[in-house]
Amino acid sequence: MALSIVERPAKKLVSYRVVGPYQQSIHSGFQQLTKWVARHHQPRTEWLTWFHDNPDTTPAEALRADPSVCVADNFILDEAEGLSLQTLPGGTYAAYHTTIADGDFEKAWRDFYAQLLTSAHYRPDGKACFEHYLSDGSKSGIWEVVLYQSVEKIPAIR
């Protein structure tokens, strides 16, 4: 898939922090978040996972991620139930729209970064990276997702 550069607004999120190997922990986080959404009758808008650690440099048991659902800017989280209210930063992002049919999210991220790191114009800035789920592949096994990494423009060499 092709890499594109987009501007994204900041998003208010209700998140459930998970720690451990992404392949196992994210699913359990979404189970908790889905129960909360159902109990509180939240509209199903954008679902995403915000990643806080690089799996190439952080031990699997220490990886942190926040399975999240977007909420209105004026939303107030009354009953936390292990959840937190936070804001995903807005700004310039590299975006990679892809379909994952084999559960290999890692390969999709590696393909994304292979394209991004060869860019002569943008580089990761370390502020935020996340997956935005356009379809729920939990039953079909086919996920349509957009991977995002916040980026900064590379200064021109003079």
Which regions of the chain are under pLDDT 70?
A: 1, 44, 158
pLDDT tens readout for residues 88-120: 999 999 999 999 988 889 999 999 999 988 888
Residues 25, 90: Cα–Cα separation, whole Å = 26
Distances in Å between the alpha carbon of 73 and those of 9, 28, 105, 128, 141? 11, 26, 30, 19, 32
Q: How far is CA 55 from the centre of its chain?
A: 14
The reply to whether 130 falls in a domain is: yes
pLDDT value at residue 44: 66
Q: How far is CA 113 from the centre of its chain?
A: 14
pLDDT value at residue 9: 96
Q: Are 53 and 130 in contact (CB under 8 A)?
A: no
The reply to whether 50 falls in a domain is: yes
The number of domains in the chain is 1
The reply to whether 102 falls in a domain is: yes
> Quick check: helix, strand or coil at residue 90?
coil
Residue 47 belongs to domain with CATH number: 3.20.80.10
Strands 122-133, 83-88: pairing kind: unpaired
The reply to whether 75 falls in a domain is: yes
The reply to whether 99 falls in a domain is: yes
Containing structural domain, residue 82? 3-153
The reply to whether 89 falls in a domain is: yes
The contacts of residue 61 (CB under 8 Å, 6+ apart) are 19, 20, 21
pLDDT value at residue 99: 94
Q: How far is CA 69 from the centre of its chain?
A: 10
User: Which residue spans within the chain are E strands per DSSP?
Assistant: 3-8, 11-16, 18-19, 47-51, 64-71, 83-88, 91-100, 122-133, 143-153
Rounded to two decimals, what is the model's pTM? Answer: 0.92
The reply to whether 158 falls in a domain is: no
> Of 149, 143, 150, nearest to 30 (Cα)?
143
The reply to whether 107 falls in a domain is: yes
pLDDT value at residue 8: 96
Tell me, what amino acid is at 158? R
